[in-house]
Amino acid sequence: MVTTEHRTSGASRPVLHPAGRTASATGALLIVPTIAALAAAALEPAFTGTDHLRGVAEHPDRLAIAALLHLIAAGTSVGIAVALYPLLKQVKAALALGSVVFRTIEAVCYVAAVVSLLSVLHLAQQLTAAPADDPGVISGIADALLGLRDHSTLAGVFAFCVGALLYYALSTDHDWFRGGCRSGA
């Protein structure tokens, strides 16, 4: 990171260059969604077997915390693109804006997946509170919601890939990539 000396009353202390501050913020934002997504995956109950809804209903707090962690991961994913935008727009504004748009689409897809996940929790609680004459209907709806969750997550991954491709396109501007960012260009 590039620092400059800042002198106040004879003492000097390093001051982080604006690009360095952006890099530090982005680095933190890269770590947070990774940790949040891994923790969420560890907390989620297994959605396999014939009686998976009862398992979900027995641990509603774990599923709610996992959903919150997924939301944190989605929000910070957009935060990465927003934090990088001021630097990347200096290279190619359209590609920088495109990366923000696709990372936002990614987050929206992940939020849709979380809504589906929380809907499954509601169905599981209904099934255990008042067992229906035909639990297969509720299980079928829950399976459809889990399918929607899987498809929303996959669409989010595709949006991430397009955003990553835009980052790659931005990084291939060799003058900027080799040192333009470090010199404050």
Give residue 75's pLDDT band: very low, low, confident or very high (50, 70, 90). Answer: very high
What integer best gives the mean pLDDT of the chain? 83
The CA-atom distances, in angstroms, between 79 and each of 22, 85, 135 are 11, 10, 42
Predicted confidence (pLDDT) per residue in 110-130, tens digit: 999 999 999 999 888 888 876
Q: Over 90: is that where the pLDDT of 57 sits?
A: no
- 67 and 45 Cβ atoms separated by less than 8 Å: no
Predicted confidence (pLDDT) per residue in 89-106, tens digit: 888 899 999 999 999 999
Both structure tokens of 168: 């790659």
Instruction: Indicate yes or no: pTM above 0.85.
Output: no
In this predicted structure, what is the pLDDT of residue 2?
46
In this predicted structure, what is the pLDDT of residue 1?
44
Predicted confidence (pLDDT) per residue in 124-167, tens digit: 888 887 666 677 788 889 899 999 999 999 999 999 999 999 98
Which residues is 12 bridged to in the sheet?
7
Nearest to 109 by CA among 143, 139, 77: 77
Burial class (CB in 10 A: 0-12, 13-18, 19+), 74: buried
- 116 and 145 Cβ atoms separated by less than 8 Å: yes
In this predicted structure, what is the pLDDT of residue 46?
81
